[in-house]
Chain A
Amino acid sequence: MDDHDRSFSFVDRVTSVQPGVLIRGHYAIPPGLDVFPASLVAEAVGQLAAWAAMAAVQFRVRPVAGIAGRIDLLTPVRPGQTLELAADLESVDEETAAYGGTALADGVPVIRLQDCVGPMVPMADFDDPQAVQERFQRLCGPGAAPGGFGGLPALALDRRGGEAGQPLHATFQVPVSDPLFADHFPRRPVFPGSVLMHMNLLLAAELAAEIPPPRPGARWALRSVSEVKLRAFIAPGDALELEAHLSSRSVHSATLAVETRKGKQVVSGARVLLAPEDEP
């Protein structure tokens, strides 16, 4: 009986694995959800890579979100689709796991991760190492029961001031409790970096809509996220300030810089590449 809470687990089954080298698997997006954002698809690829990394170091340490060199946002996914996940590991040791990976839905590439690095943290600080190992065995065997994810917590950004096209600022209060904290992580709840990235992308999309269009009949669309860096853990109840501003623009592309602060501390930063897309 698998009694692990899977409210923030995005790998249902591992179909092949060479610990420390490569891993393949899949995840069925629960059909009852309203949306399944790209950042969670990236999370799924990262979680798959993490299994191969943890298996390579006998589950003594586990990677956490740290650096993503580039994430290409290729195609939106829909609830009900199954993600075919793949990750290739560049290196794994007791300090870091470096990897890249992809996800496909219905045979179509939906996301591509490159040059990602997850710093390793002691497994026992975050989860029961034995239980994690047993979960891995289950994923490699019959797989886990799908459908554990019930949706993201309310992510209402409280936008503050600013004129159209100017830097956008927003505040966000991390909930004190939410089902996802039972899974991420059982011994130390951490607000997921991928959910933070989702909020950064929401703000970026809002700013993109305010930038003068690249040409008549076109709009700016989010194409990729690069230089993602998570600098600190975010705990339940933390108050965050988010900012997005335009850092460069040409006819063919625009780049936004997004940043999150907790008080004076910068906890994350990234760049978002925009490209013209014809209005529907």
Chain B
Amino acid sequence: MTDTNITKEDILAIHPKVAETIAAALGCEVEQVKLEASLIDDLGAQSIDFVDILFRLQRAFKVKIPRGKIVEEARGSLAESEFEQGGVVTEAGFERLRAYLSEVPADRFKSPLDVADIPRLFTTETFCKLVIRQQRAGATADAAKPS
């Protein structure tokens, strides 16, 4: 799954509010939350911070973001056993991740990749795209509701 329908303009439009939200969760300066910043390696995020960030984004953008949504969407139609085996991302899973996390520089993808290390790839832009997708999914769901 790729994001050809999410433009750079879409991402830049949402980036300031996402950056502000992430900065508040991590207790860092908003200027540090650049689009390409890795939340773990550059901003020092830990597991509980991702929970915090997702809830703050939900409240800030009024969208529902299930935990694990990024990996779930990256996996797409692959069965779990096709995506990972024994805690390590399969070759097929690795390619899905590279395509889905197209904003992540190629040199950050190291194979073999442990499932536990997937969040290490996430950047600020990953969360911008996540919010945009959830906003659109919400809008689609609302439009499908009977009036």
Q: Is chain B a partner of chain A in the same complex?
A: yes
Q: Is the CB of A119 within 8 A of B27?
A: no
Q: Is the CB of A119 within 8 A of B48?
A: yes
Of A66, A96, A227, A230, which contacts B27 at CB under 8 A? A227
Q: Is the CB of B59 within 8 A of A229?
A: no
Q: Is the CB of A231 within 8 A of B59?
A: no
Q: Is the CB of B67 within 8 A of A66?
A: no
Q: Is the CB of A93 within 8 A of B66?
A: yes
Q: Which chain A residues lie closer than 8 Å to B67 at the CB level? A: 93, 95-96
Q: Is the CB of A115 within 8 A of B48?
A: no
Tell yes or no: A23 within 8 A of B by CB: no
Q: A95-B68, A115-B59, A269-B27 are in contact. Are A230 and B48 (CB under 8 A)?
A: yes
| Minimum distance in angstroms from A117 CB to a CB of chain B | 5
Q: Which chain A residues lie closer than 8 Å to B52 at the CB level? A: 67, 117, 229
Tell yes or no: B55 within 8 A of A by CB: yes
Q: Which chain B residues lie closer than 8 Å to A231 at the CB level? A: 46-48
What CA separation (Å) do A93 and B68 show in the bound complex? 12
Q: Is the CB of B46 within 8 A of A67?
A: no
Tell me the residues in window 34-68 of chain B with beta carbons closer than 8 Å to chain A beta carbons. Answer: 46-49, 51-52, 55, 59, 66-68
Tell yes or no: A234 within 8 A of B by CB: no
Please tell me the size bucket of the interface on B: 10 to 19
Tell yes or no: A42 within 8 A of B by CB: no
Q: Which chain B residues lie closer than 8 Å to A269 at the CB level? A: 27
Tell yes or no: A40 within 8 A of B by CB: no
What CA separation (Å) do A230 and B46 show in the bound complex? 11
What CA separation (Å) do A269 and B49 show in the bound complex? 12
Q: Which chain B residues lie closer than 8 Å to A67 at the CB level? A: 48, 51-52, 55
Q: Taking chain A's interface residues, is the majority helix, strand, or loop, or is none over half, making it mixed?
A: strand
Q: Is the CB of A117 within 8 A of B51?
A: yes
Interface centre among B27, B47, B48, B66 (most CB of A within 10 A): B48
Beta-carbon nearest neighbor of B24 in chain A: A227
Q: Is the CB of A229 within 8 A of B48?
A: yes
Q: Which chain A residues lie closer than 8 Å to B55 at the CB level? A: 67, 96, 98, 115, 117
Q: Which chain B residues lie closer than 8 Å to A229 at the CB level? A: 48-49, 52
Tell me the residues in window 110-139 of chain A with beta carbons closer than 8 Å to chain B beta carbons. Answer: 115, 117, 119
Tell me the residues in window 65-103 of chain B with beta carbons closer than 8 Å to chain A beta carbons. Answer: 66-68
Q: Which chain B residues lie closer than 8 Å to A98 at the CB level? A: 55
Contact indicator per residue, chain B 1-37, by CB within 8 Å of chain A (1) or not (0): 0000000000000000000000000010000000000
What CA separation (Å) do A243 and B49 show in the bound complex? 21
Beta-carbon nearest neighbor of B66 in chain A: A93
Q: Which chain B residues lie closer than 8 Å to A227 at the CB level? A: 27
Contact indicator per residue, chain A 63-81, by CB within 8 Å of chain B (1) or not (0): 0001100000000000000
| Minimum distance in angstroms from B128 CB to a CB of chain A | 22
Q: Which chain B residues lie closer than 8 Å to A230 at the CB level? A: 48
What CA separation (Å) do A115 and B49 show in the bound complex? 14
Complex A-B: 9 CB contacts under 8 Å: A67-B48, A67-B52, A95-B68, A115-B59, A117-B55, A119-B51, A229-B52, A230-B48, A231-B48
Give 9 new A-B contacts, CB below 8 A, not counting A96-B67, A117-B51, A119-B48. A66-B51, A67-B52, A119-B51, A227-B27, A229-B48, A229-B52, A231-B47, A231-B48, A269-B27
Which 9 pairs between the two chains have the least Cβ-Cβ distance?
A95-B67, A231-B48, A67-B52, A117-B55, A66-B48, A231-B46, A117-B51, A229-B48, A119-B51
Residue positions of A touching B, CB distance < 8 A = 66-67, 93, 95-96, 98, 115, 117, 119, 227, 229-231, 269
